[in-house]
Structure 1
Amino acid sequence: MSILDNKKVIIIGDRDGIPGPAIEECVKTVESAEVVFSSTECFV
């Protein structure tokens, strides 16, 4: 059981940290989680 089971997920990655697509790949390992938005932003 995961805390992401049956959840909708919004991902905001950081350009100088962990990018959104990398986090999205980790979330995809939970079959019942749904990524509804994924983006990589630059926080300056």
Structure 2
Amino acid sequence: MLNGKKVAILGDRDGIPGPAIEECIKTAGADIVFSTTECFV
């Protein structure tokens, strides 16, 4: 579904963290170029 696409991931500390999103995106075939978990206050 995302084969060949480059993805930047911004996770939320109180929501879904970056590594969790990263695992889902990897299974869809995307190339992860940046992944982080931030605290949006």
Q: Same fold (TM over 0.5)?
A: yes
Query: Comparing both structures, which one devotes a greater share of its residues to helix?
Result: 2
The structure 1 segments of at least 4 consecutive aligned residues displaced by more than 3 Å after TM superposition are none
Gaps of 5+ in 2: none
Output the TM-score relative to the length of structure 1: 0.85
Sequence identity (%): 73
Gaps of 5+ in 1: none
1:5 paired to 2:10 = no
- C-alpha RMSD of matched pairs (Å): 0.8
Output the TM-score relative to the length of structure 2: 0.90
